[in-house]
Structure 1
Amino acid sequence: MNTEREKVKRQFRHRARLAPTPAQVLLFDEQAHAARTVWNCLHAWWTMLPKDKRTLAAADAAIRQARKDVDFLAVLPAQAAQAVLKIYFRAWRNCWEGRAGAPRYKARSRTRMSVDIPQGDGLRVRRVHRRWGVVSVPKVGKVRFHWTKDLPVGSGADGASRITGARLVKDALGWHISFRVQTHVPAPAPHEGPEVGIDAGINIPLALADGNHQHHGRPPRLPDGTADRDKWLNPEEKAKLLRLEREAAHRRSFREPGRAASRRLRRTYEQIASLRAKAKRRATDWQHKTTTHLARAYSTIVVEDLDIPRMTKSARGTVDLPGKNVAQKRGLNRSIAQEAWGRTITMLTYKTAWCGGALRKVPAPYTSQRCSVCGCLTEGSRESQTVFACKNPGCAWVGNADHNAARNVLHLYRAGHALTPAAGRAVVRRS
């Protein structure tokens, strides 16, 4: 009897931190600036030409001629220039279909430096040490990177795993490379684990209906009751961040209006951005580990269908009708943004599919006001952010408010109120 499961094609990204030499850093910067310039030239060409001459072939010919005439653009590999063209046309297609706004000019000060490598055949990834690997970047050469995940090194022509492309990205911590990996793995067997409802909150990041709440050990608020915007930093890093912010404010007070920031001020901004990036990386790492654990432990994960942009809308109001408790609402919005609920749901969507499970969504209204024991919706039962006390005389159940909401989420799913399956990334496809 053949028990081998059917193979499925899985695509994912793996981001690794590069360790380039100073000369290689300059080459990366030149390529990134050239890619941004190609985008801006292409945008100007598109907006000035008549509609009947805006074709992909004409844009491709214009880019080829520009790379021949301008030496600065020649440092960008031809494949990377073609990738800029494809991304630009995809941006317009997303605009026409209502998924995004119209493409615009990329200013140097507000644009992330990046270079796309659309084909992975020339990367030639090789592991040289337990912690280090080497990748061949076009027009740069061999660059070391931190080896934190096993990557395919073959061509993948026989159905094996392969690297289909990569993208070079620069952030506050330096240059990184994001590999696009395609693998063929056995189709996941149906998950036989239990069902669970999850409520995303502030005091408890992820409250589970069975009581196995997921904490990250970072208090959401300071002793004075204000939101802790730097909870992912340790006390020494918080003190350093406070000192840098004060230095930036002091140096900014001496800058004349309309003049560029000094080198010292820019250096201070870079140090602040580095600490912020480190905090974001720690938060993302916790999310990945937690969602992987949940996807492996439960067959069906039920969450609320939250409208996060509406939840984080400002309460400032207008001049005629000013809002109330604006400062408190601002702190709540900041806490919600720090927890990144949308990113957590996205991770759970594709990880449950990888493990043979499923993610389901239920309507969000009244899940935190309804008692999970008697089902009554009584005014005043939600006494605070942490305590739920049912006002029904026949029940009088008291418990954690987030735990109560998680149980209600699971009850809604079992009662048949699940919405259309969550639309996540197409990460598992039949080969």
Structure 2
Amino acid sequence: MGELVWEKRQFGHRARLALTPAQVRLMDDQAHAARAMWNQLHDLWQMTPKCQRALTRMDQALRQARKEIDWYGVLPAQAVLKTYFQAWRNCWDGRADEPNFKARFRTALSVDIPQGRDLQIKRVHRRWGMVNIPKVGRVRFRWTKDLPVGKLANKENRITGARLVKDGLGWHIAFRIQTLELKPEPHQGPEVGIDAGVKLPLALSDGNHQDHGRPARLPDGTADRDKWLNPQEKAKLLRLEQRAAHRKSFRKPKERSSNRLHVTYDQIRQLRARATRRAIDWQHKTTTAIAKQYGTVVVEQLQITNMVKSAKGTIENPGKNVAQKSGLNRSISQEAWGRTVTLLTYKTARNGGTLVKVPAPNTSLRCSACGFITPGSREDQATFVCKNPACGWSANADWNAARNVLHLYRIGLVTIPAAGRAVVRRTRGVKPAAAR
């Protein structure tokens, strides 16, 4: 038996908060103050010469501003400063874009709590826990996962901080957790290729397809924007959208929106958030099952940003089939392929497996039986029929692409992201077998 290897693991856990109306107002005020402070720090950063940009100078300016501006006292101001600097570090390391201005109605409300010791988490019930939020007080949250608190907390297993986030369903808290776990043994499961599609969300090369059972299009052929809602919720959403359009028609240009219109927008946002929660729940359950069953998961290196670009074109060169392309873009965005790959990446590693990316070109056009690319083989979105006279193989188009994805890995054509670009490298010692 080999020596046990421990490794540090960092992950997040999100739980819903149960706030009183007074606490909701405090949280909203704190989030708006954090957004306004972020914008002021961003303006100060842009006006300050590069040679003078430093955390200590901005910290001194912030301390002086807290003495002169009253609403700075409703939130821990140092947390906003640390979050802003961390955003720039993420940008410099290539993990995110540059920080920018946060608009009032287009930005999700959030407040960061950088120190875990300020939370003082305690479990009070089988389903409930208590957490201390600075400037707000003790708040209940849903206990759905065992957290390293109390006697279970130590230097290796602890909560390092949290972030408060608001969506259409209310306020949530996302804990940042650090643990020390045994390094998993190499997964001995089989290899599988995965093709992400619109009609079939996840097609697997062994035929074990994953479908959420919600059609991507309506009977009239248009894309279903609300497929994660039931018929009653869809009817309610339609009424709310009509009500919002009616109330918006009475607003004059540059006039402030009425409170009734904002209430209607909040109700629409709540339904949208409920649909998003259901989609993420399905993705988590599906990716967990795949990571536990397969040792090597092979996916395509997709440029999703380029795939969902508009087809409108310009005035000189107008685009074609703009409405059809718009519906396809909406369907691709709803499936959230990038989030699926992100979930598979860390879940396969946690179970001892690996996730590999291969080049995407021609995986849906090549026949996985004979390997030839013949014109007209892709008759429609769902069926692939090889036009090679010596083959004639036919199957589901997404399954054919999944078999090609696995075959590219087996012949060693692996895409390795390096310095923001894709590099194709052939590996040694791979099996030159076709994906069956």
TM-score normalised by structure 2 residue count: 0.92
Shift of 1:172: 1.2
1:275-304 deviation line (CA, Å, top 9, x unaligned):
001000100010001000000000000011
Aligned to 1:19: 18
Looking at structure 2, the residues matched to 411 and 100 of structure 1 have their Cα atoms a distance apart, in angstroms, of 33
Aligned to 1:296: 292
What letter corresponds to residue 75 of structure 2 in structure 1? L
Of 202, 205, 213, the residue aligned with 1:206 is 202
Alpha carbons of structure 1 residues 102 and 158: separation in structure 2 relative to 1, 3 Å: closer
* Unaligned stretches of 5+ residues in structure 1: 425-431
Shift of 1:3: 5.6
Asked if the contact 1:244/1:272 (under 8 Å) is kept, the reply is yes
Of 268, 273, 278, the residue aligned with 2:274 is 278
Shift of 1:102: 4.3
Looking at structure 2, the residues matched to 419 and 96 of structure 1 have their Cα atoms a distance apart, in angstroms, of 24
Asked if the contact 1:361/1:422 (under 8 Å) is kept, the reply is no
Matches within 5 A, 1:21-170: 21-77=20-76, 81-93=77-89, 101-154=97-150, 158-170=154-166
Shift of 1:131: 1.6
Aligned to 2:365: 369
Shift of 1:132: 1.2
Looking at structure 2, the residues matched to 190 and 146 of structure 1 have their Cα atoms a distance apart, in angstroms, of 34
1:126-146 deviation line (CA, Å, top 9, x unaligned):
222222111111222110011
Report which structure shows greater RCO (CA 8 Å, sep ≥6): 1
Shift of 1:101: 4.9
Looking at structure 2, the residues matched to 144 and 387 of structure 1 have their Cα atoms a distance apart, in angstroms, of 52
Aligned to 2:228: 232
Looking at structure 2, the residues matched to 287 and 65 of structure 1 have their Cα atoms a distance apart, in angstroms, of 47
Looking at structure 2, the residues matched to 203 and 23 of structure 1 have their Cα atoms a distance apart, in angstroms, of 46
Shift of 1:212: 0.3
Aligned to 1:428: none
Looking at structure 1, the residues matched to 119 and 255 of structure 2 have their Cα atoms a distance apart, in angstroms, of 42
Shift of 1:155: 7.2
Matches within 5 A, 1:2-17: 5-17=4-16
Secondary structure, aligned partner of 1:23:
helix
Looking at structure 2, the residues matched to 302 and 104 of structure 1 have their Cα atoms a distance apart, in angstroms, of 35
What letter corresponds to residue 193 of structure 2 in structure 1? G
Larger CA deviation: 293-302 vs 64-73:
64-73
Looking at structure 2, the residues matched to 40 and 307 of structure 1 have their Cα atoms a distance apart, in angstroms, of 31
1:291-327 deviation line (CA, Å, top 9, x unaligned):
0000000000001111111111111111111111110
Of 401, 408, 417, the residue aligned with 2:404 is 408
Looking at structure 2, the residues matched to 50 and 283 of structure 1 have their Cα atoms a distance apart, in angstroms, of 45
Please report the RMSD computed on the Cα atoms of aligned residues, expressed in angstroms. 2.0
Aligned to 2:427: none
Aligned to 2:386: 390
The number of equivalent residue pairs is 420
Aligned to 2:167: 171
What letter corresponds to residue 279 of structure 2 in structure 1? A
Asked if the contact 2:6/2:181 (under 8 Å) is kept, the reply is yes
Alpha carbons of structure 1 residues 285 and 97: separation in structure 2 relative to 1, 3 Å: closer
Larger CA deviation: 22-31 vs 114-123:
22-31
Looking at structure 2, the residues matched to 11 and 183 of structure 1 have their Cα atoms a distance apart, in angstroms, of 6
Secondary structure, aligned partner of 2:348:
helix
Asked if the contact 1:159/1:184 (under 8 Å) is kept, the reply is no
Looking at structure 1, the residues matched to 5 and 419 of structure 2 have their Cα atoms a distance apart, in angstroms, of 24
What letter corresponds to residue 404 of structure 2 in structure 1? N
Alpha carbons of structure 1 residues 118 and 94: separation in structure 2 relative to 1, 3 Å: closer
* Unaligned stretches of 5+ residues in structure 2: 421-436
Aligned to 1:184: 180
Looking at structure 1, the residues matched to 108 and 379 of structure 2 have their Cα atoms a distance apart, in angstroms, of 45
Percent of aligned pairs sharing the same letter: 68
Alpha carbons of structure 1 residues 121 and 92: separation in structure 2 relative to 1, 3 Å: closer
Aligned to 1:328: 324
Aligned to 2:423: none
Looking at structure 1, the residues matched to 31 and 333 of structure 2 have their Cα atoms a distance apart, in angstroms, of 29
TM-score normalised by structure 1 residue count: 0.93
